[in-house]
């Protein structure tokens, strides 16, 4: 009886620690998504503050290039923070990530504009944006790996799905704060100092996350693995590229599709509504806010579906849904009604939610524990460089070139087709397992 009681106590203690660790990890991802997304939601305003000129499209394209520049350094951040996480612990890596992101976002809110310091304004904006991208490269993969290693096996899909779900609440907060400020102050005040408010909020949020992450432990799986190789000269980056190239390539492809859906479907659309479809900035932010909140609620439900049907099937459903749903969705958005635009974007959140849950709950399974942080972070970041960094700029350029406002929908359809092709190369595990394997 004593043994049984001790075992039950041990299980209960492990589950309590798992919940605490998951909360600290996803709270950090919440803040990371908030910090990283704010830039996209105020891009049209930043174009005027940092890239003044006669052609508003050129200013917007310049601002989106800075937005995309953050993706270029994400693989470097993934290598740095991933190596840190695999060598000295997930916890230390995640603490370093949130510190870097919070400082970069907060300093952006304090940055003088072009009118005050001339060319130094866009230069410093780029530097701070690069720091944001660097920290994001380690955060998302690290959080997914950390939660996966803490979560009870039967509930792993649910626990890990909170990474994109709570992350979307971070985007929602970014959209909500932007909408609130834009509706509360005149346009000239928004250009003067209103745009700074969302960035400055990153400072207290970052402090709260830092305190939470200082209070949690490293995952038992990581600690056990580290004890076994404590005398080894562990080189996770070298091992990843030497022994895990095939799974890494598949993770890159899966992340590519997921990031196209994320940054075209939930960040670029704010600019799309205001600058292409000519909704007010407040209306654009509100439409995105409602859709992102809906997605955040749908993602854990999608994760539970994945636990029943398998990761490959869940991802294939999401890719097929992109192909079928997004063109009608964007047609609704273009009818000029705020209500119909909200409905159209909400419909497009179904494939988005399925893809988010399928991606984050499966990509940690492609790698063993000793290279998991590096593999997930680097693979996801490379996919983000192409999908997240390039897709918004490409969509803007194609709309300006062709005059076709359905271009973003076509980009998402192509992403869905690519996802289906990639998923054909991945073996599906039995339906009661939630993961994809190499």
SS (H, E, C) 327-382: HHHHHHHCCCCHHHHHHHHHHHHHHHHHHHHHHHHHHHHHCCHHHHHHHHHHHHHH
Whole-angstrom distance, CA of residue 178 vs CA of residue 201:
11
pLDDT at site 418: 92
Q: Is 144 within 8 Å of 365 (Cβ atoms)?
A: no
pLDDT at site 435: 43
Burial (CB < 10 A; 0-12, 13-18, 19+), residue 126, is middle
Rg (CA), the chain: 21
CB atoms within 10 A of CB 25: 30
Q: Which residue has the tokens 């989106």?
A: 64
Q: Is 413 within 8 Å of 326 (Cβ atoms)?
A: yes
pLDDT at site 7: 57
Q: Is 412 within 8 Å of 260 (Cβ atoms)?
A: yes
Q: Which of 139, 423, 101, 132 minimizes the C-alpha distance to 256?
A: 423
Max Cα–Cα distance, the chain, nearest Å? 80
Whole-angstrom distance, CA of residue 215 vs CA of residue 217:
7
Read off the tokens for 218.
Answer: 């490293």
**H/E segment holding residue 428:** strand 427-428
pLDDT in tens, the chain (438 residues): 445 555 555 777 778 888 888 889 998 889 888 887 788 778 778 878 887 765 566 666 677 677 667 778 889 999 999 999 898 888 899 999 999 988 998 999 999 988 888 888 888 988 898 898 899 888 888 888 888 888 877 777 788 888 888 888 887 788 788 888 888 888 888 888 989 999 999 899 989 999 999 988 888 888 888 777 765 667 889 999 999 999 999 999 999 999 999 888 887 888 888 888 888 877 887 888 888 889 989 999 998 887 778 778 888 999 999 999 999 999 999 898 999 999 999 999 999 999 999 898 888 888 998 899 999 999 999 998 888 777 877 888 888 888 888 999 999 999 999 999 988 887 644 333 334 433
Predicted model pTM: 0.81
pLDDT at site 241: 92
Q: Which domains does the chain have, with CATH numbers?
A: 14-215+235-437 (1.20.1250.20)
pLDDT at site 428: 47
pLDDT at site 323: 96
pLDDT at site 180: 87
pLDDT at site 245: 92
Whole-angstrom distance, CA of residue 48 vs CA of residue 61:
11
pLDDT at site 126: 86
């Amino acid at each position: 009886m004593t043994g049984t009681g001790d075992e039950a106590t041990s299980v209960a203690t492990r589950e309590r620690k798992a919940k605490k660790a998951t909360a600290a990890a996803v709270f950090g991802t919440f803040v990371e998504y908030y910090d990283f997304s704010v830039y996209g939601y105020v891009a049209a305003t930043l174009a005027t503050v940092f890239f003044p000129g006669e052609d508003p499209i050129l200013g917007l394209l310049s601002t989106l290039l800075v937005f995309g520049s953050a993706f270029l350094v994400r693989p470097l951040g993934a290598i740095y923070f991933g190596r840190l996480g695999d060598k000295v612990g997930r916890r230390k890596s995640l603490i370093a990530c949130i510190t870097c992101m919070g400082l970069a976002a907060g300093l952006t809110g304090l940055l003088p504009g072009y009118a005050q310091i001339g060319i130094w304004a866009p230069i410093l904006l780029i530097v701070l944006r690069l720091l944001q991208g660097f920290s994001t490269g380690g955060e998302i993969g690290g959080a997914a790996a950390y939660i996966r290693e803490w979560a009870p096996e039967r509930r792993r899909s649910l626990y890990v799905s909170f990474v994109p779900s709570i992350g979307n609440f971070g985007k929602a907060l970014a959209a909500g704060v932007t909408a609130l400020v834009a509706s509360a102050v005149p346009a000239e005040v928004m250009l003067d100092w209103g745009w700074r408010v969302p960035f400055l909020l990153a400072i207290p949020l970052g402090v709260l996350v830092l305190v939470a992450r200082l209070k949690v432990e490293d995952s038992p799986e990581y600690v056990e693995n580290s004890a076994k190789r404590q005398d080894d000269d562990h080189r996770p980056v070298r091992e990843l590229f030497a022994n895990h190239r095939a799974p890494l390539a598949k993770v890159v492809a899966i992340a590519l599709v997921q990031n196209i859906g994320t940054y075209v479907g939930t960040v670029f659309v704010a600019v799309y509504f205001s600058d292409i479809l000519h909704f007010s900035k407040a209306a654009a932010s509100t439409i995105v806010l409602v859709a992102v909140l809906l997605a955040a609620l749908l993602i854990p439900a999608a994760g539970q579906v994945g636990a029943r049907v398998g990761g490959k099937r869940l991802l294939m459903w999401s890719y097929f849904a992109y192909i079928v749903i997004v063109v009608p969705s964007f047609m609704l958005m273009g009818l000029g009604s705020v209500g119909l635009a909200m409905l159209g974007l909400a419909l497009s959140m179904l494939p988005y939610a399925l893809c988010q849950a399928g991606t984050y709950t499966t990509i940690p399974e492609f790698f063993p524990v000793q290279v998991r942080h590096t593999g997930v972070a680097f693979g996801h970041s490379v996919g983000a460089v192409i999908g997240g960094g390039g897709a918004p700029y490409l969509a803007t350029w194609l709309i300006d070139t062709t005059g076709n406002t359905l271009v973003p929908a076509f980009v998402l359809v192509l992403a869905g087709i690519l996802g289906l092709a990639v998923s054909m190369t991945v073996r599906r595990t039995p339906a009661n397992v939630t993961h994809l394997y190499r």
